[in-house]
Amino acid sequence: MTASSETALPDAVVAEPPARRRPRSSRFFAAIVAITALAHLPVVAGVARFASRAGLPMPWLFGVGWGALGVGLLRGRLLTFMPDMKRGRLGAALVDLPYFVHWCACAFTLVPAIAATIIGPIVSFALGRGFALPLDFYGWTYAAGLVVASYGVVIRRRWAVVHDVDVAIHGLDPRFDGYRIAQLSDLHIGSHSPRAWGERWVAMANARNPDLVVVTGDLVTSGTDFHQDIAAVIGQLRGKDGVFVSMGNHDYFGEGDPLIALLRASGARVLRNEGVLLERGGASVYLAAIDDTWTKRDDMDLALEARPPSTPVILLAHDPARFADAIERGVDLVLSGHTHGGQIAVPFLAPWLSLAHITHEFVVGLYERGKSTLYVHPGLGTTGPPVRLGVAPAVAIITLHAA
């Protein structure tokens, strides 16, 4: 591997990207538009109320215009990011980020607005004030949402931290005691997580001089435009026993094979349902990885097939949902990602209160089941709205200990 981020990768492994296609109309996109329109309803009323208090003529015109603009701009954002395409940074900074601050503020407003719409008139009627919608509440909640969303979009997701994680493994040879693994996951290098951010994350990992570096999937958001940037970032990682990559579902939201070729050319080893033996003075640990589960490329039995008897196993599995299968096969440590810790969580309570709990059993951090341990990485980049609240992007330094 080369330490220079500017070194060009071999042309032989650079595949021509497929012709860009407009996203197909689907229920998914219809649902996103519907949710966006619904979230704008209280914002429209709140903005109109503010316009009225400011003495502007036709205040509802301001509210409706603001809402129409917010819903209308959504289509352009979806077309741009599915697949994720390279374009000028200025446009992203001046259009995309302000839009997503607004979009997240609308989402922030929706649930309190629904509650206030139900409860407010009941209270007003009980007090003999007659029926009235809480228009001022809508407006001030949206204003508060803009402050919170600005922090989450502009500041929090840029500010990565290092998590030190200690893991005890039964049967680990003392010669591996203190073995350090730097784990990066869910980089999503692209329009919202540029190459420069990836290089900062790499520097954070390299500064800890790890024995091993693993990257547990979702290096891409979608498409192929950023494959070269991703390979250049991964090529700068340094581990005494090498750099190993497992694939995630987003890595196939386009074409995965060209990315795999570029990663291998950069010096990383991409493990696809296979493993390698790590050795320290005659002691060994088996490192394996499964391919993506969403596209049904994974085969855990094949990945563990070459495992020597009585050898501790570390498994890279992007989706933590495979933890139960790993337990059945006697895997000692599973390193996963995928959930981003929800991206939005109650501060300091991400393992218990986050959006990821809606769809995932294992959300973020350490989980122990018998002699098996799972670590779910909080991720570094983002998908969907580029926002993080309560879940810091992180580089994990996992230190192994003999149980």
pLDDT, position 236? 98
Cβ neighbourhood burial of 275 (10 Å; 0-12, 13-18, 19+): buried
More confident: 234 or 11: 234
Q: What is the mean pLDDT of the chain?
A: 89
Please give the share of the chain, as a percent, with pLDDT higher than 90: 74
Query: What does the pLDDT look like over 238-253, one tens digit per residue?
Result: 999 999 999 999 999 9
In the predicted structure, residue 166 carries a pLDDT above the cut 90: yes
Q: Which of 278-292, 304-318, 338-352 has the lowest mean pLDDT?
A: 338-352
Quickly list H helices, 54-96: 59-81, 89-91
* Arithmetic mean of pLDDT, 369-374: 96
In the predicted structure, residue 190 carries a pLDDT above the cut 70: yes
Query: What does the pLDDT look like over 80-127, one tens digit per residue?
Result: 777 888 877 777 778 889 999 999 999 999 999 999 999 877 877 777
Q: Which domains does the chain have, with CATH numbers?
A: 27-156 (no CATH), 161-402 (3.60.21.10)
pTM of the model: 0.87
* Arithmetic mean of pLDDT, 327-335: 97
Please give the share of the chain, as a percent, with pLDDT higher than 70: 93
Closest CA to 319 of 343, 301, 298, 304: 298
Structure tokens at 89: 């940074």
Quickly list H helices, 275-344: 300-303, 323-328
Closest CA to 239 of 272, 195, 194, 287: 287
pLDDT, position 315? 98
